[in-house]
Amino acid sequence: MNQKVAIYCRLSEEDKNKRNDTDDSESIQNQKNMLIEHSLKNGWEIYDIYSDDDYTGADRNRPEFKRLISDAQARKFNIVLCKTQSRFTRELELVEKYIHGLFPLWGIRFVSIVDNADTDNKGNKKSRQINGLVNEWYLEDMSDNIKSVLENKRRQGLHIGSFALYGYMKDPNVKGHLIVDDIAAEVVREVFSLYDQGYGRTAIARILNERGIPNPTEYKRLCGLRYQPAKTKNSTMWRYPAISSMLSNEMYIGNMIQGRSGSISFKTKEVKPRPKSNWYVVEGTHEPIIDRDLWERVQSRLSERAKPFITGTVGIFAGKAVCGECGYTMRSSKNHGRYYLQCATRHVSRGACNGCFIPVNTLEKIVIGELNKITDEYLNLDELERSIEFSATLKKQKQELSSSLSALEKSHEQLSKGVRDLYMDKVKGIISESDFIALSCDIKKDVRRVEEEIAAVKKKIDGIDERLDAGDDRKKIIEKYVYPNHLTREMTEALIDKVIITRNPLSKKEIGINICWKF
């Protein structure tokens, strides 16, 4: 049988930091050369080379890694070749899922050269699992160490961000220190001055756009920084949120503010906002752009103009209505006692967007009408048909959770076996008592983590079983809001993900509404 091999290479940021004239063994090119040579030596036909540059082994969204998995599932090759197992992944869960789970089902052999991992060799499965554990510990330890270092720098008031705040630049001579960027700083001073003179935030954005001044993201790009702007139409323009954020940012008076958000886990890049009490605030770390008197006047005016969140008619579509042309969230306004939703883009730059515009009560009637149609269709369905549809959806969810549970239970069994094997190695004198204690403690931590995940999945499965026993709960949701006369904020939160509003540029009366329901 002709052996087709897929070569996978990965170079992470921490590897890049090691590169110099004498140490380039971790380079992508050297990985490729090594793996190509190994393939030719064994007479394997190279199907393709998959290469992820600047990605960590914990990143599950590596583009080439995902393409490799997709091609593997399509059985386009029968060998995956890497320099080491950690190049493929540093997560034990993915080792079990792919190397020991799906690859054998797809008829694919996994081989890594340096650490001698080979799924054709049944005898080294234990070493592959231990490698997976060690790699995951490495990730967790590295994450903890990095967090500790960064927190210490934040407490000292050292800037650790990838990019300096608009108006500043990184000091080339002092790491962690910011210096004033004279060109951008002039814009910042003008923004504060205009607001102090009575201009609104939208009006200030329009003034800057009409003068062709690039917004902060575009300015970074023009300065040659590797900054990825938002992938939305007119993303280079100044807008209300950018002006609003600038006017309330204490960094412009010389205070370092960091830690507004934090990562959820070392296994994901997802971040969430942190409460203000957990921010790192150090005063007087860099030269202020705005003097204290102007800052105080602006803050006083911001406080006076701040409006409390209004529930009821005005707020029912807050954050839900989106302009179908430019993709930005529409803002509410009031005119002659009536409330409207409009896209602010047309106010910050002429001709940038047609500016979708709709009265709130008109949109409310449209949404109620569509909700009533859905209610009619649902309630007219035969009870048995609804029950079957509902049960099928929940059973599919249960099946997916059961698969996850099986994988977790398998991991738990392997981890428990790892502890027993370590004990036997200690008894045989292969490892020392201190090594046994250190390694077994780490494994036991993973055992506890997996046990918690197993308990969580079982709880979800029990919840689905309860819902199956209780019957179709969507009926309760729909009947709770059946044939309403008016919408409430509670209803839009429960029922609507977003409402996309478009308009025909040739006719102000033709408005398109696309409601994305949550159910």
pLDDT, block means (10 residues), the chain with 519 residues:
86 52 54 88 91 76 90 92 85 80 89 84 62 58 64 85 90 92 94 89 87 89 70 68 91 90 60 81 93 93 63 63 78 77 69 73 86 71 50 74 83 78 75 73 76 85 73 57 76 82 65 79
Among candidate residues 62, 66, 129, 142, the one with its CA nearest the CA of residue 93: 129
For residues 190 and 239, state if they share a domain: yes
**Tokens for 281?**
């605030």
For residues 347 and 271, state if they share a domain: no
Instruction: Please check whether residue 151 lies inside any domain of the structure.
Output: no
Residue after which a domain boundary falls, among 116, 143, 170: 143
Grouping H, G, I as helix, E, B as strand and the rest as coil, residue 369 is helix
How close are the terminal C-alpha atoms of the chain, in Å? Answer: 50
CA distance 308 to 185: 31
Give the torsion sign (CA, 345, 346, 348, 351): positive
Per the CB < 8 A criterion, the answer to whether 252 and 188 are in contact is yes
Residue after which a domain boundary falls, among 305, 336, 365: 305
Question: Can you give the pLDDT at residue 137?
Answer: 59
Instruction: Please check whether residue 149 lies inside any domain of the structure.
Output: no
For residues 299 and 320, state if they share a domain: no
For residues 331 and 236, state if they share a domain: no
Q: In sequence order, what are the beta bridge partners of 8?
A: 50
> Exposed/middle/buried for 70, CB within 10 Å: 0-12, 13-18, 19+?
exposed
For residues 56 and 68, state if they share a domain: yes
For residues 249 and 205, state if they share a domain: yes
Instruction: Please check whether residue 385 lies inside any domain of the structure.
Output: yes
Question: Can you give the pLDDT at residue 304?
Answer: 74
Instruction: Please check whether residue 80 lies inside any domain of the structure.
Output: yes
CA distance 72 to 88: 14
Instruction: Please check whether residue 148 lies inside any domain of the structure.
Output: no
Question: Can you give the pLDDT at residue 305?
Answer: 64
Please spell the DSSP secondary structure of 28-82, one letter per residue.
Answer: HHHHHHHHHHHHHHTT-EEEEEEEEES--TT-TT-HHHHHHHHHHHTTS-SEEEE
* CATH assignment of the domain containing 107: 3.40.50.1390
For residues 161 and 18, state if they share a domain: no
Instruction: Please check whether residue 498 lies inside any domain of the structure.
Output: yes
Grouping H, G, I as helix, E, B as strand and the rest as coil, residue 310 is coil
Question: Can you give the pLDDT at residue 76?
Answer: 92
Question: Can you give the pLDDT at residue 312?
Answer: 41
* Total number of domains in the chain: 3
Among candidate residues 393, 386, 400, the one with its CA nearest the CA of residue 460: 400
For residues 300 and 315, state if they share a domain: no
For residues 300 and 313, state if they share a domain: no
Per the CB < 8 A criterion, the answer to whether 289 and 252 are in contact is yes
Among candidate residues 52, 121, 55, 108, the one with its CA nearest the CA of residue 81: 108
For residues 301 and 312, state if they share a domain: no
pTM for this model (two decimals): 0.46
Non-local (6+) Cβ contacts of 259 within 8 A are 154, 274, 278, 279, 280
Instruction: Please check whether residue 77 lies inside any domain of the structure.
Output: yes
Q: Which domain holds residue 412?
A: 307-519
Q: In sequence order, what are the beta bridge partners of 5?
A: 46, 79
CA distance 439 to 443: 6
For residues 349 and 494, state if they share a domain: yes
Length of the chain: 519
Residue after which a domain boundary falls, among 105, 120, 143: 143
For residues 287 and 321, state if they share a domain: no
Instruction: Please check whether residue 150 lies inside any domain of the structure.
Output: no
* CATH assignment of the domain containing 233: 3.90.1750.20
